[in-house]
Amino acid sequence: MPLTEFQNIYDGVKLGLNFNNRGILAKPVIFAIAPTYGLKSKTITGSAKVLFNKFHEDSELFKTMLGLTIDRASFDYGAFITKIQPFAQFTFRPQNNLRSNSLKRLQLRYINIQKDESRNPLDDNTIPPYQVFNVRYLSLDNNIADFKKWYIGLQFSENFGKINLNYEVRKRTPKDRHYNLRIFAGAFLYNTLLETETNFNYALDRPENYLFEYNYLGQSEDSGILAQQLLVAEGGFKSKLNPAYANQWITTLNASASIWRYIQAYSDVGFIKNKGNKPFFGYDSGIRMDLIIDYFELYFPVYSNLGWEISQANYSEKIRFVITTDISKLAGLFTRKWF
């Protein structure tokens, strides 16, 4: 079937075809090949995957999936990433209520990354292929009025190892007031990377996308409107503080609460630790406009370690935004249980 998508400014609008054997009924083997042509990059990119599914009856182990995915896309002007990922995934759901939005998932992945040369000199150390073995256990209750999610993850590569913990809850009261709390903690188990190599560090406000999982519209942009795109991951801060990265450990708390309708107050606090330095305590606060949760949000910083940001020069460059253009992720908006 025809395919039209926009994932980043480097490829621009992409046109292509999606060949797959999906149907109304679940199948034990699924394959998909989706070559695309970027109108801006004038290059063929796309993805391919093959999935082997086994559905289990009379068991909380709902589905076992083995698969292989291959993706190729731009991450800068004239620079491309090829990602090859074999994986195994085990999904658990309540046996007595298969319509529930609750699930638990254990995922094991071996991620192979090949990056072409880019205009960013900080990428010089990551041009050779690198591999990361990733294990993650996720527990999710995806209800709009009572959302809960937590996961623990491990990453192992030649030059670093990490352990991460993420916990998040969202509450919506009968009076339509929203309360959000997120806690993240991460630490390097070992790290032999050069201190000038920041691509694998923890980030306070803009995560490094070394596994190419985040949907940045401008992955390599460090100025301009696209550098203000926010992905609430790792530190989850909205203000751009210094130091912005941690090569030892990080622990942060992000919170927000309703003021009126979709307008909320937010605050972030946390510590980051770099080798040879004392822990840095960071904080920020401001106003959040929750137009569509997770899909379109605006953040207006007010006060942080930098002082009263709202009264500082070039304030428009401090405003952050969340936006989703991925059709598959937008579809998730309609699979939530709203009550």
pLDDT-derived band at 338 (thresholds 50, 70, 90) equals very low
Answer whether 0.85 is exceeded by the pTM: yes
CA distances from 58 to 55, 63, 90, 198, 273 (A): 10, 11, 15, 47, 47
Give mean pLDDT, residues 53-73: 91
Q: Tell me what pLDDT residue 159 has.
A: 93
pLDDT tens-digit map of 277-329: 999 999 999 999 988 877 899 999 999 999 999 999 999 999 999 998 766 55
Evaluate if residue 154 carries a pLDDT over 90: yes
Give mean pLDDT, residues 102-126: 77
pLDDT tens-digit map of 197-253: 888 999 999 999 999 999 999 988 988 999 999 999 999 999 999 999 999 999 999
Give mean pLDDT, residues 19-46: 90
CATH topology of domain 42-334: Porin (2.40.160)
Listed by start position, the domains of the chain span 42-334
How many CA atoms, within 13 angstroms, populate the side-chain half-sphere of residue 329? Answer: 15
87 sits in which H/E element: strand 79-92
150-154 — which CB contacts under 8 Å span 24+ positions?
none
Give mean pLDDT, residues 74-84: 91
Average pLDDT, the chain: 90
In sign, the C-alpha dihedral spanning 153, 91, 150, 85 is positive
3-state DSSP assignment of residue 44: strand
Q: How far apart are the first and last CA of the chain?
A: 35
Q: Tell me what pLDDT residue 27 has.
A: 85
Give mean pLDDT, residues 29-45: 94
CA distances from 268 to 21, 155, 183, 329 (A): 45, 26, 10, 26
Sequence-distant (6+) residues with CB within 8 A of 245 are 198, 201, 202, 203, 204, 208, 272, 274
Q: Tell me what pLDDT residue 195 has.
A: 82
CA–CA separation, 254 vs 235, rounded Å?
8
Evaluate if residue 42 carries a pLDDT over 50: yes
CA–CA separation, 231 vs 59, rounded Å?
36
Question: By mean pLDDT, which of 141-145, 186-190, 286-290, 331-335 is the weakest?
Answer: 331-335
Residue showing tokens 């991450």: 75
